[in-house]
């Protein structure tokens, strides 16, 4: 072992690795064993990425050198304790991104740290690169739960630069490399969404290939007949689809299916990473897109105006915290407490119309609705005297009137000075002109 590697390996005897079974984390596992001379415990979280990714992980991890393997089904916890709280905050990053990847990282890190504590591991490790947001999200969560934990981030330590180096390393160490055609982009999937980036998508002018999309059909191929879906909410959370109560994970999975079949939830954007660079991301979030619109429809009936506006004023801050990896921060927790209180009365039903990629609210109802037609009607009524509006307007116009009066007074004072200055300039110009004429006559 080289001197540098010996120094790195000091004090590391057991590492819990966030393991996906893919090329990167398989190479990382063998590299950790070789470089640190430590035991590696593999941890995989099932957050809805699909059986294709979960199946065979245990066998492959042991074959690559894992001492132990933990696979946890976190789908219900993911939706209940992470996705739904974020939806209550109405958080959308940079006006477009529903934060599907960002919200998954703190849960994976939390479960990983729980295993590290149980197994008395010295360190944790992940496969995030040194250029992206995920390294920040994982490690901020690690340190929030254990300020003394050792973090091993191989992409910031080893000399390997890309996929070709990883494949060569895997072949040298007998790590099985799937014989599949390399996709011209990378993807990451969970129950809330799937993301695509890199490769051919790095050109922001290039249209993504239709074959890339996984959760949705193209709007052109979506049914010619609209689909209607009713979503029930209770205390701020979605609880039913078309009158049938479902668990959080099953509800989201069903809406993904319904939305995807109608071409709903595709997003193509250039976003600002926390580390400072811009990157292009393409996302499919069919269920989340439906829920976002449906929840706002019920909120419009049940939330007080000022409470709704206050929550919305905090939504972007909340979204930035989630995107940047501050899920376990005191400020996010404080915002969550306020948001949960603000949305506790959001109970009702929204009817959504899905048609060729679009989602429209076509109905909403709530038993405790704050909307009363007899208050807002333009017909003659007995609950609101229109004359009352005059005093309301005058009180609210007071500061505008005062500002206008001050501006007009200042303008009046400035006007004589401006006229005097203009006259002075005019006289000066006349004197200069006369002098010029006189000088010209003298030269003759």
Residue of 14, 186, 296, 369 marked catalytic: 186
Model confidence over 82-102: pLDDT tens digits?
999 999 999 999 999 999 999
Instruction: Give the pLDDT of residue 444.
Output: 46
| Sign for the pseudo-dihedral over CA of 115, 119, 122, 123 | negative
Distance set, CA 104 to CA 20, 207, 338, 364, 419 (Å):
14, 27, 22, 30, 68
* Residue that wins the pLDDT comparison between 49 and 422: 49
Residue 7 has pLDDT above 70, yes or no: no
In this prediction, residues 170-179 reach a mean pLDDT of 83
Is there a catalytic annotation at residue 134?
yes
pTM for this prediction:
0.89
Q: Domain 189-303+343-371 carries which CATH code?
A: 3.90.1260.10
Is there a catalytic annotation at residue 105?
yes
Instruction: Give the pLDDT of residue 314.
Output: 98
Q: At what angle do helices 330-342 and 305-324 cross, to 10 degrees?
A: 150
Model confidence over 208-220: pLDDT tens digits?
999 999 999 999 9
Q: What is the mean pLDDT of the chain?
A: 92
Residue of 75, 88, 105, 364 marked catalytic: 105
Residue of 44, 134, 279, 332 marked catalytic: 134
Q: Grade residue 373 by pLDDT with cuts at 50, 70 and 90.
A: confident
What percent of the chain has pLDDT above 70? 88
Residue of 24, 189, 195, 295 marked catalytic: 24
Is there a catalytic annotation at residue 102?
no
Q: At what angle do helices 163-172 and 23-36 cross, to 10 degrees?
A: 60
Q: Grade residue 340 by pLDDT with cuts at 50, 70 and 90.
A: very high
Instruction: Give the pLDDT of residue 377.
Output: 66
Model confidence over 282-303: pLDDT tens digits?
999 999 999 999 999 999 999 9
Model confidence over 248-275: pLDDT tens digits?
999 999 999 999 999 999 999 999 999 9
Instruction: Give the pLDDT of residue 117.
Output: 98
Task: Give the lowest-confidence range in 58-67, 172-181, 341-350, 393-402.
Answer: 172-181
Is there a catalytic annotation at residue 24?
yes
Q: Domain 3-182 carries which CATH code?
A: 3.40.50.620
């Amino acid at each position: 072992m080289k001197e540098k590697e010996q120094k790195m390996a000091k004090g590391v005897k057991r590492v819990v690795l966030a393991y996906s079974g893919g090329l990167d984390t398989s190479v990382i596992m063998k590299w950790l064993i070789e470089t640190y001379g430590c035991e590696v415990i593999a941890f995989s979280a099932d957050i809805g990425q699909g059986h294709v990714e979960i199946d065979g992980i245990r066998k492959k991890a042991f074959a690559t050198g894992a001492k132990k393997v933990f696979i946890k089904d976190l789908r219900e916890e993911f939706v209940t304790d992470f996705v739904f709280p974020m939806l209550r905050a109405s958080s959308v990053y940079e006006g477009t991104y529903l934060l599907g990847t960002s919200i998954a990282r703190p849960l994976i890190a939390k479960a990983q740290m729980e295993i590290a504590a149980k197994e008395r591991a010295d360190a944790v490790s992940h496969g995030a690169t040194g250029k992206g947001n995920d390294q920040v999200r994982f490690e901020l969560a690690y340190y929030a739960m254990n300020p003394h934990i050792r973090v091993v981030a191989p992409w910031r330590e080893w000399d390997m630069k890309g996929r070709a180096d990883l494949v060569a390393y895997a072949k040298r160490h007998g790590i099985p490399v799937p014989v599949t055609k390399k996709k011209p982009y990378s993807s990451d999937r969970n129950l809330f969404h799937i993301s695509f980036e890199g490769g051919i998508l790095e050109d922001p002018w290039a249209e993504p290939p239709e074959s890339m999309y996984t959760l949705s059909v193209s709007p052109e191929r979506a049914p010619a007949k609209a689909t209607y879906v009713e979503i029930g909410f209770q205390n701020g959370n979605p609880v039913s689809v078309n009158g049938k109560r479902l668990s959080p994970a099953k509800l989201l999975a069903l809406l993904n299916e319904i939305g995807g079949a109608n071409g709903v939830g595709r997003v193509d954007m250039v976003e600002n990473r926390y580390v400072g660079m811009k990157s292009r991301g393409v996302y499919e979030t069919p269920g989340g897109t439906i829920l976002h619109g449906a929840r706002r429809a019920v909120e419009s009936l049940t939330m007080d105006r000022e409470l709704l506006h206050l929550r919305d004023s905090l939504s972007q801050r909340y979204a930035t915290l989630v995107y940047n990896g501050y899920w376990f921060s005191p400020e996010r927790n404080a915002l969550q407490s306020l948001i949960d209180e603000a949305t506790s009365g959001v109970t009702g039903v929204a009817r959504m119309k899905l048609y060729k990629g679009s989602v429209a609210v076509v109905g909403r109802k709530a038993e405790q609705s704050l909307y009363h037609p007899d208050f807002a009607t333009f017909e003659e009524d007995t609950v609101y005297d229109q004359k009352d509006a005059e005093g309301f307007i005058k009180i609210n116009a007071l500061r505008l009137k005062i500002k206008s009066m001050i501006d007009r007074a200042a303008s009046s004072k400035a006007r004589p000075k401006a006229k005097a200055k203009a006259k002075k300039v005019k006289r000066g110009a006349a004197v200069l002109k006369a002098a010029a004429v006189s000088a010209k006559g003298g030269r003759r």
